[in-house]
Amino acid sequence: MKVKEVPQDLKYYKGSVVRDLNYAVDENGQYKAVVSDGWTPKNDALDMALDEIKMQCFQIAGKVRKGESSPLEYHAAKNMLSVRLLAEYTGIPKRKIRRHFKPENFAALDEKTLAVYADALRITVEELKNIPE
């Protein structure tokens, strides 16, 4: 791809400091780093992935409302955090996190543990205890 052909499809990066770095060939035939504001096929793939995450969150929210899961599972999914990643971010063992996905165990958590989860998820403790309508 030539430098002038690097896509600039402003969908997700509009108004953002985040950009994609691509390598393209300049007029001298040398590879050069070129900043891109997005690319339609990549944006479409990202849309599909985000739709999948939304569907997963919708299903987990249903489980939370039925009392089959805790809000922690919902917020982890919303932030695209697996149990393993959440464990790495919080320092809480994976087996404990899985137990905290059960509503009765989540309800028994102390404020300190809730604060650790909230900090990792970048939300307040009050937000952690609830899910959106």
Q: Would 133 be classed as within a structural domain?
A: no
Domain count, the chain: 2
Q: To which H or E segment does residue 75 belong?
A: helix 71-78
Whether 22 and 51 map to the same domain: the answer is no
Portion of the chain with pLDDT greater than 90, in percent: 64
Residues 6 or more apart whose Cβ sits within 8 Å of residue 100: 70, 72, 92, 106, 109, 113, 117
The model's pTM is 0.74
Same domain, yes or no, for 59 and 121?
A: yes
Same domain flag for 104 and 62: yes
Token pair, residue 49, equals 């992935």
Q: Could you tell me if 77 and 117 lie in one domain?
A: yes
- One domain, residues 71 and 115: yes
Per-residue pLDDT tens for 77-87? 999 999 999 99
What is the tens place of the pLDDT at every residue in 97-125? 999 999 999 999 999 999 999 999 999 99
Q: How far is CA 102 from CA 1, 20, 21, 127, in A?
A: 51, 39, 42, 17
